[in-house]
Chain A
Amino acid sequence: MSEANAILRCAAVPEEAALQELQRRFSALLARGVVFRVELEPELIGGYVALVDGKRYDFSIAARLEQLRVALGGV
């Protein structure tokens, strides 16, 4: 099983255990080995964005706040 090209963008450096857990979950999801290269991006505020083999999974606080901003647009 080849290793995927994977980047993890986080607002702060993740704990090693959390990173291992994420890699395990993504490996299971994509049925191939995933080893993240971590990049820091403080604009995300919190959470993370995983970039794996041309797909983007956004679990960041910044994205959630943006969703909230759009939803509250009518207020």
Chain B
Amino acid sequence: MTGEEYMADFTSHLLEKVKGFTFETKTGDYGTVRSIMDDVVQIDGLAGSHYGELLAFAGGHFGLAMDLREDGVGAVMLSGSREITTGGLVCGTGHVADICVGDALCGRIIDPIGRPLDGRQLKASSFRPVESPAPSIMDRSPVDRPLQTGLLAIDSMIPIGRGQRELIIGDRQTGKTAIALAAMINQRGDENTYCVYCAIGQKGATVAQVAHTLREAGAMERTVIVAATADDRPTLQYLAPYAGCAIAEEFMHRGKDVLIVYDDLTKHAAAYRSMSLLLRRPSGREAYPGDVFYLHSRLLERAARLSDENGGGSITALPIVETMAGDISAYIPTNVISITDGQIFLEEELFHAGIRPAVNVGLSVSRVGRSAQRSAMKEVSGSLRLDLAQYRDTAIFAQFGADIDASTARLLRRGERLTQLLKQKQDAVLRLSQQVAVLLAFGQNLLRDIPPAEITELRGELLEYLQAHCEGTLHTIDATGALNSSDREMLIAYMKHFLAERVRAKRA
């Protein structure tokens, strides 16, 4: 086709579209800007606007109606508050804030109103309202399928199910984001699972690092990053988790499983507090507004496992909360703990002692995950929590050089090895079969003669050996989630053989 022919074809196509088009006269409510302070606009008029309605300001800027009064509306700006002048016109758009959703977002970084932040154009064809009701009770199914994080300490002792809300809580710099990242990286091989990472009030460099880590690990393909960084206005930070959830819901309603990370809800609550104070809402404890509990409960209730009649999709939420000096009884942490189905508590002391992930097993719990755990994992992880908790209690006494009996010494030896075994880097995620194999080795006491310092290295070698010699068995465990007695005996035999060989090689 020549250039002229192409133009003629294009023009006729365009004319056809224009010919059939009928214009509508746009009518709607309007108001005028009375005042603007710190991104909060007081508007006269707009009597018919709805709560949360998107308002259009001059110059193509938008705001959200947050306070409806008889004589006007209080709104928060989403963009361009410096260009708004008093007396300026404000029009209601008739619809609530929405966000672009769908496959076009995969691998992309966007802000909470759908603007791409990665320098590439974004063409999305479908949209969802940012706020929408959580699935009803009848639409839900019990949480009965596991979501493997690839981290031995979590999958074995604090298992997470698809549709669960598991809080990650701890002081700053204790590896909270690293756990969430490991869980996201571990979903890279599963084509039915999507990931959404919501950065709320994070540093821009941190978000860039997260994107880089995910890309390097090959996990960006089905991941969407929604980012409202620390320099974004509180309104955007407030919207970010709801926007991320709307993106996740689109995938869930298509029958897919989604893992969504809210990093972090402490900053989200602080952003909402700023907004509420500027809107002159009454403040309560720690100056948070009265609905700060509802703020997070309505967000986390949107995580669900849908029934098979509704497609069977799920949203698993990993909200993150930052504590100050390990105080989990502060206002926001207690609120979120009470909403979620369990928490992974990370401790600074453990982190600095080199135990990473720095999970405090005693304070961590998963309320629904156990029923979703695969039978193979259940079989080998039965008493791990107890072993580790007993070890950590006893180790404190042993530090004082107290005389210890033989059974306590055995407990300490076992605990030391287990602690080393559970150490793991965020990108060194393990498959279910690999986790089952190393826990089986531990359970069978095969590691009792290995010095604790060598355990982590040995784990890698052992898994390589098993991969080379029993690939089929490992594959069966991954596929079925079960460990039958013959596979179990076979794995034990190979592991014993590997360890004996290793001892022999060392002696030589």
Q: A: which residues have CB within 8 A of B? A: 51, 54-59, 63-64, 67-68, 71-72, 75
B30: contacting residue among A56, A64, A68, A75, CB under 8 A: A56
In the complex the two chains form, is B13's CB within 8 Å of A68's CB? no
Q: Which of B23, B28, B29 has the most CB of A within 10 A?
A: B23
From 28 to 49 in chain B, residues with beta carbon under 8 angstroms from any chain A beta carbon are: 28-31, 45-47
Of the candidates B14, B17, B18, B26, the one whose C-beta lies within 8 Å of that of A58 is B26
Given contacts A51-B89, A67-B24, contact A56 B29 (CB under 8 A): yes
* A67 to B28 CA separation, bound complex (whole angstroms): 15
Q: Can you name the residue of chain A whose Cβ is closest to the Cβ of B44?
A: A54
Q: If the complex has contacts A51-B30, A55-B29, are A72 and B17 also in contact, measured as CB distance less than 8 A?
A: yes
Binding site for A on B (CB under 8 A): 13-14, 17-18, 21, 23-31, 45-47, 89, 91
- B20's nearest neighbour on chain A, judged by CB, is A71
Residues of B close to A71: CB separation below 8 A: 17, 21
CB of B14 within 8 A of CB of A75, answer: yes
Chain B contacts of A67 at CB under 8 A? 21, 23-24
Knowing A68-B21, A71-B21 are in contact, say whether A55-B14 is a contact too (CB < 8 A).
no
In the complex the two chains form, is B17's CB within 8 Å of A54's CB?
no
Contact residues in A for B47 (Cβ distance below 8 Å): 54
Name which residue of chain B comes closest to A51, CB basis: B30
Distance between A75 CB and nearest chain B CB, rounded to angstroms: 6
User: CB-CB < 8 A to B30: which residues of A?
Assistant: 51, 54-56
Taking the closest CB of chain A, its distance from the CB of B124, in whole angstroms, is 11
19 pairs of residues in contact across A and B, judged by CB atoms under 8 Å: A51-B30, A51-B89, A54-B46, A55-B28, A55-B29, A55-B30, A56-B26, A56-B27, A57-B26, A57-B27, A58-B25, A58-B26, A59-B25, A64-B23, A67-B21, A67-B23, A67-B24, A72-B17, A75-B13
Cβ contact of B45, chosen from A54, A57, A59, A64, cutoff 8 A: A54
Instruction: Assess the A72–B25 pair: CB atoms within 8 A.
Output: no
Query: CA of A14 to CA of B91 in the docked complex: distance in angstroms?
Result: 24
Select from chain B the residue with minimum beta-carbon distance to A57: B27
A57 neighbours in B (Cβ, 8 Å): 25-27
With a CB–CB cut-off of 8 A, which chain B residues contact A64? 23
Task: Report B-chain residues with C-beta under 8 Å of the C-beta of A54.
Answer: 29-31, 45-47
Q: How far is the CB of A69 from chain B (nearest CB, A)?
A: 11
Contact B29 A72 (CB under 8 A): no
Nearest Cβ on chain B to A71's Cβ, whole angstroms: 6
Interface contact B28-A56, CB-CB below 8 Å:
yes
Task: Give the most central of B25, B26, B28: most A CB within 10 Å.
Answer: B26
Shortest CB distance B494–A (Å): 59
Looking at the assembled complex, report how far the CB atom of B279 sits from the nearest CB atom of chain A, in whole angstroms.
Answer: 22
Q: A56-B29, A71-B17 are in contact. List 18 more A-B contacts (CB 8 A).
A: A54-B31, A54-B46, A55-B27, A55-B28, A55-B29, A56-B26, A56-B28, A56-B91, A57-B27, A58-B25, A58-B27, A59-B25, A64-B23, A67-B24, A71-B21, A72-B14, A72-B17, A75-B17
The complex places the Cα of A51 from the Cα of B88 at a distance, in Å, of 13
Contact partners of B24 in chain A: CB under 8 A: 67
* A-B CB proximity, top 7 nearest: A58-B26, A56-B30, A54-B45, A64-B23, A57-B27, A56-B28, A63-B26
Please name all residues of chain B whose beta carbon is closer than 8 Å to the beta carbon of A55 when the two chains form the complex: 27-30
**B23 cross-chain contacts in A, Cβ below 8 A:** 64, 67-68
**Once bound together, how far apart are the Cα atoms of A26 and B28, in whole Å?**
15
**A75 vs B13: C-alpha distance when bound (angstroms):** 9
Taking the closest CB of chain A, its distance from the CB of B70, in whole angstroms, is 13
Task: Please pick, from A51, A56, A68, the residue contacting B18 in the complex, using a CB distance under 8 A.
Answer: A68
